[in-house]
Structure 1
Amino acid sequence: MNSDAYTAELAAAMEAGFIKNPNTGEHCHSLADAYMASLAGSSLPEDVEGREEYDRLVAWSLEKGVVAPGEVVRTFNYIRVKAVRVAMKVAQRRGEIRQYNFLV
């Protein structure tokens, strides 16, 4: 499978997760990570702005901050869902998934 086909398959899997659950996606964190990593090997130009925003959000989700006990997982998931939505926007711009109002 070439990298463009792999990237398109990852985008389709993320899309399916958001169709199942438009608020948070279903099992999309690792799919988004793989999708964004696969862009480097794509024949299409990488979405630099989206890549930077995605990387910033992922790094932020991993920071050790002052968060109340019990809020760590909720905060991590909230930030990671924001990152997944960035990956979905990149996939939309690349024409790999349909347009969705919840990503605007």
Structure 2
Amino acid sequence: MDTDPYSAALAAAMESSFAENPNTGQNCHGLADAYMASLPENTEGREEYDYAVRRSLERDNFAPPGEVVTTFNYKRVKAVRIAMKIAEERGQTARKWEL
């Protein structure tokens, strides 16, 4: 269990925001980024998180213009869920989160 107060506070804020809207993760993308940045480089799951964030930022040439934001949010929510799972494994969230 990690007891770093800064990352624990970020995890709590991310969890609270994500609990409000787990379908879109609205308002917690930045919190997930800050949380992941507060962890050591070799944290298990970081590569998966970084990959999901990179995928959310790629241009999707197959998405119609109106669906670009939807595609971004879907991929970004996956990244947030990965961050939530990492926080859970570190004992920094109050409830169990699924990918």
TM score, norm. by length of structure 2: 0.86
Counterpart residue type for residue 75 of structure 2: I
1:10-68 residue CA offsets vs partner (Å, 9 max, x unmatched): 00001101221232334110000000011028xxxx432x1011000100111112121
Tell me the equivalent position of 2:52: 57
Any stretches of 5+ residues in structure 2 without a counterpart?
none
Tell me the equivalent position of 1:7: 7
Query: Which of 54, 77, 92 is 2:88 aligned to?
Result: 92
How many residues align structurally?
Answer: 96
| Rounded Cα–Cα distance in structure 1 between residues aligned with 2:51 and 2:16 | 25
Query: Displaced runs of 4+ in structure 1, greater than 6 A?
Result: none
> Relative contact order (alpha carbons < 8 A, sep ≥ 6): 1 or 2 greater?
2
Any stretches of 5+ residues in structure 1 without a counterpart?
none
Measured at CA, do residues 94 and 74 of structure 1 come closer, stay the same or move farther in structure 2, by a change above 3 Å?
A: same
1:43-94 residue CA offsets vs partner (Å, 9 max, x unmatched): xxx432x101100010011111212111111100100000000000000000
> Which structure has more helix as a fraction of its residues?
1
**RMSD (Å) for aligned C-alpha atoms:** 1.9
The answer to whether the aligner puts 1:80 opposite 2:59 as a matched pair is: no
Aligned residues: percent identity?
59
